[in-house]
Chain A
């Protein structure tokens, strides 16, 4: 018996004349259209993500225009940390933008399939690390700023009462727990949105990449 695929091959060759041929005009028109490839999606989504990080850094640097903030930071002796964190944030953002750009340039549709997929996934990974960094920076800053607010609010309360007592232990603990829970919830929401977007965008790519790896183990 003839092999199944060879039977198909016979028919495959015959059916070649069957396609409705595109004219040169059709092809020119297609060249005017925009691509809808996932690489393009990744590019735009990554741009949004990168700018979110920049926004965060900007927001942080605006705090220095508030005299009270700076005074307070200096007062508690954290000014050098504050400056260091700002510099690190900017440096990291710049590093990631550069890395993203150079990885993105490496995506070549005429590479072999496995390499193309792995380059796309590596580009994704850069942005993923960037987001992870930003989320931890966000969590850290949120907790730091929150503790500051808590401390400040509490001490104002004390002054109006005309008493100068230490913050009771329970209040501190409850305050810290609330802060941590709020931070965790916010971080989780971001993370979830993130997973959803990429799950939707890259599911097929992951499946195919796994399949290729399985063939080649």
Chain B
């Protein structure tokens, strides 16, 4: 019984692992820290899994647990204070859509997002994931209006960082 629970968990986690990878990407720098947080999120998901009823999609539920782990439960281990910059984890862009100016801007944007605080990162993350404000507000436990206001402030903040 518990074995089949574990199997179903591992299978679903494997299919949805990019959610966790993306959160690790925002909240850590360096491969060690990435894997460290990934592991903690996996453990937290597994611990909470028996309560997961399937009323919502696994992914929706995983978003919440993973974000909570990153923001609230996770204690950065000292070895995870790495200085490796974001670009090292960046992907290669195919030659045909290479746009130097845009590429530079994106690099700067990633850097700017990394400088935001934990809560702002969570908002940006959900925005990038196309979550609507209803889900953002429910996940963080703030009102929809205030989530919107905050998001606009973050956009302004990023604009300022990019065009000082």
Contacts and interface: CB of A to CB of B under 8 A. Distances in A.
A204 B67 CA distance: 15
A19 B16 CA distance: 12
Given A31-B46, A110-B48, A212 B140 contact: yes
Contacts of A114: 140-142
Contacts, number: 158
Interface residues of A, number: 51
A165 interface: no
Interface string A58-80: 00000000000000000000000
Given A4-B155, A5-B124, A27 B42 contact: yes
Interface in A80-135: 108-117, 120
Nearest to A8: B109
A34 to B, nearest CB: 8
Contacts of A24: 10-11, 14
B14 A110 contact: no
A66 to B, nearest CB: 46
B18 interface: yes
Contacts of A112: 64, 138-141
A38 B91 contact: no
A34 B147 CA distance: 34
Contact of B150 (A28, A34, A38, A215): A215
A120 to B, nearest CB: 7
B65 A110 contact: yes
Q: Which of A17, A35, A113 has the most CB of B within 10 A?
A: A113
A207 B121 CA distance: 14
A136 to B, nearest CB: 31
A114 B139 CA distance: 9
Contacts of A117: 72
B105 A7 contact: yes
Contacts of B40: 35-37
A113 B140 contact: yes
Contact of A8 (B51, B73, B106, B139): B106
Contacts of B118: 204, 207-208, 211
Interface of B: 6, 10-11, 13-14, 17-18, 21-22, 25, 38-40, 42-44, 46-48, 51-52, 61, 64-65, 67-69, 71-75, 77, 89-91, 93, 102, 105-106, 109-110, 113, 117-120, 122, 124, 127-128, 130, 138-143, 146-147, 149-150, 155, 158-159, 162
19 contacts: A4-B159, A4-B162, A5-B158, A8-B109, A9-B127, A18-B90, A27-B13, A27-B14, A30-B39, A110-B61, A112-B139, A113-B71, A113-B140, A116-B68, A207-B117, A208-B72, A208-B117, A215-B147, A215-B150
